[in-house]
Amino acid sequence: MKIHIIGGGVIGLCSAYYLRQAGHEVSVIDQGDFSEGCSFGNAGMVVPSHFVPLASPGVIAKGLKWMFQPSSPFFIKPRLNISLLQWLWQFYRACHPDRVQEAMPIIRDLNQGSKELYDELSKGLALPFDYESRGLLMLYRTPKGEQEELSTAATANQIGVEARALTPSEVQKLEPDTTVNTLGGVLYPGDAHLAPHQFMSALVNDLRQSGVTFLPQTQVKTWQTSKGKVTHLLTQHKEKIEVDQVILAAGSWSEKLLRGLNIKMPIQDGKGYSVTLPEPARRPTLPSILSEDKVAITPMGKDLRFGGTLELGGMSNAVNPNRVKGILSALPQFYPDLAIPYQQNLDIWVGFRPCSPDGLPYIGPSRHIQNLTIAGGHAMMGLSLGPITGKLVAEVIDQKKPSVNLSLLHPERFA
């Protein structure tokens, strides 16, 4: 079957990989050149530990408090925008404990399936991508942080995700090369980390070798349909691309594109920042998340990347220095060796997480358009869930039984 994928982020490329493996003829279309965007500069964590959806009890109260702190990790730019207001209402409804209970096992299964696929890919792709399967530390410095992390760890163990509570000296033993100040931590030994830009290059390389066609600098503007099927994609150059099957994997841009097909799939762009420090003298060797500050720290080869912040601001690339300062100021509270001043020449990267309101991705066939499959809305976990999403997309196309139950992930569940 001939398949066109719109979007060459991690979701599009992983879909291309598993579709090609299943013997399909695949083309990937991207408005960029397959070297930039959310899938390249993220924190590189592969996180079975993250089984709780973003929409969960308590998160709204926390978010409201953060809204009024200029360097906090969360912000919504106040504006009268109907999509944003609907999204917030759906988010509020999804925070109900019953919805969270329903979502957790699905996220667990997606994450664990994806981690297994990463283990395979680390051996199967020709180029290396600094993949290390050594776990992840959730670190805390306050009694409230401790309470939250230990409670999540208890739930993790109940649902089959291994989590080990550690004392400050046990945390320090894991990091002999640098000082760690904590009240304690939780180790999730099943997590992994990698260099996302290298993973993306390794995928592009492999896909090119296996005959996948790449169409860079090609922005899909709209669709042409006939009898409930997409027949052509129309590009910014007024080109018409004839299609047989289409996969939409356009990240934060997906909602807008789908409006052209009268499909409602709410997505907000959760802007985040990362900063990469080249070869610091002293640094941790395990990835960690600073619980109270929501900052992620990941060793990547000899470098160190830290990232955080979620701003719902309407797709602006502008860097808010206060948010980046917020990230930087959290670091030395846990790692005194990482006191990094905010300077003009810091390598600051911006990316837009495609956030669904219920914290679950959208994966599956469209109900309205027969030859359209959608994959997106992975928010903070798109890198982690790339491989399993790609595999599921291939299963959908081949009408096989999906490896993970897709009933809660339907792309038109909010329509």
Q: Which residues are CB-neighbours of 375 under 8 A, at least 6 positions away?
A: 11, 12, 15, 247, 248, 249, 361, 362, 363, 389, 390, 392, 393
> Of the candidates 4, 5, 9, 125, which one interacts with ligand FAD according to CB under 6 A?
9
> Of the candidates 5, 20, 28, 31, which one interacts with ligand FAD according to CB under 6 A?
31
Q: Provide the pairing of β-strand 245-248 with 372-376.
A: parallel
The stretch among 56-64, 144-152, 276-284, 377-385 that binds ligand FAD (CB under 6 A) is 377-385
* Comparison of 30 and 146: residue with beta carbon closer to ligand FAD: 30
Categorise residue 379: left if φ over 0, alpha if ψ from -120 to 50, beta otherwise.
left
* Comparison of 146 and 349: residue with beta carbon closer to ligand FAD: 349
> Of the candidates 121, 275, 380, 388, which one interacts with ligand FAD according to CB under 6 A?
380
Distance CA 109, CA 131 (A): 21
What is the nearest approach in angstroms of ligand FAD to the Cβ of residue 331?
Answer: 15
Q: Please tell me whether residue 394 binds ligand FAD under the rule CB under 6 A.
A: no
Q: Please tell me whether residue 43 binds ligand FAD under the rule CB under 6 A.
A: yes
> Of the candidates 16, 44, 263, 292, which one interacts with ligand FAD according to CB under 6 A?
44
178, 158, 167: which is closest to 140 by C-alpha? 167
* Comparison of 37 and 326: residue with beta carbon closer to ligand FAD: 37
150, 193, 96: which is closest to 291 by C-alpha? 150
> Of the candidates 113, 145, 190, 251, which one interacts with ligand FAD according to CB under 6 A?
251
Q: Please tell me whether residue 130 binds ligand FAD under the rule CB under 6 A.
A: no
Name the DSSP letter for residue 370.
Answer: T
> Of the candidates 12, 48, 190, 411, which one interacts with ligand FAD according to CB under 6 A?
12
* Comparison of 146 and 352: residue with beta carbon closer to ligand FAD: 352
Cβ neighbours of 90 (radius 10 Å): 16
Helix axes of 97-124 and 82-94: crossing angle, nearest 10 degrees: 100
What is the nearest approach in angstroms of ligand FAD to the Cβ of residue 377?
Answer: 8
What is the nearest approach in angstroms of ligand FAD to the Cβ of residue 160?
Answer: 20
Q: Please tell me whether residue 393 binds ligand FAD under the rule CB under 6 A.
A: no
> Of the candidates 243, 381, 388, 397, which one interacts with ligand FAD according to CB under 6 A?
381
Q: Which residues are CB-neighbours of 42 under 8 A, at least 6 positions away?
A: 196, 272, 274, 307, 351, 382, 383
What is the nearest approach in angstroms of ligand FAD to the Cβ of residue 85?
Answer: 23
Please tell me the count of residues contacting ligand FAD according to CB under 6 A: 43
Distance CA 275, CA 297 (A): 10
> Of the candidates 219, 224, 231, 403, which one interacts with ligand FAD according to CB under 6 A?
219
DSSP for 273-320, written as a single string: EEEEESS-SS--SS-EEETTTTEEEEEETTEEEEEEEEEESSS-----
The stretch among 9-17, 70-78, 93-101, 144-152 that binds ligand FAD (CB under 6 A) is 9-17
Distance CA 275, CA 66 (A): 21
List binders of ligand FAD among 296-335 (CB under 6 A). Answer: 296, 307
Q: Could you tell me if 331 and 280 are in contact, meaning their C-beta atoms sit under 8 angstroms apart? A: no
What is the nearest approach in angstroms of ligand FAD to the Cβ of residue 273?
Answer: 6
State the alpha helices, DSSP H only, in 128-274. Answer: 143-158, 168-174, 196-209, 254-259
**Phi, psi angle pair for 242, to nearest 5°:** -75, 135
Place of tokens 């390794």: 202
List binders of ligand FAD among 264-283 (CB under 6 A). Answer: 272-274
Q: Which residues are CB-neighbours of 116 under 8 A, at least 6 positions away?
A: none
Element of type H or E holding 249: none
The stretch among 23-31, 116-124, 314-322, 336-344 that binds ligand FAD (CB under 6 A) is 23-31
Name the DSSP letter for residue 95.
Answer: T
Q: Please tell me whether residue 86 binds ligand FAD under the rule CB under 6 A.
A: no
What is the nearest approach in angstroms of ligand FAD to the Cβ of residue 230?
Answer: 14
Q: Please tell me whether residue 357 binds ligand FAD under the rule CB under 6 A.
A: no
> Of the candidates 45, 163, 304, 324, which one interacts with ligand FAD according to CB under 6 A?
45
**Phi, psi angle pair for 306, to nearest 5°:** -130, 145
> Of the candidates 15, 42, 152, 356, which one interacts with ligand FAD according to CB under 6 A?
42
Residues of this chain that interact with ligand FAD (CB under 6 A) are: 6-12, 29-32, 37-39, 42-45, 47, 219-220, 249-253, 257, 272-274, 296, 307, 351, 353-354, 376, 378-384
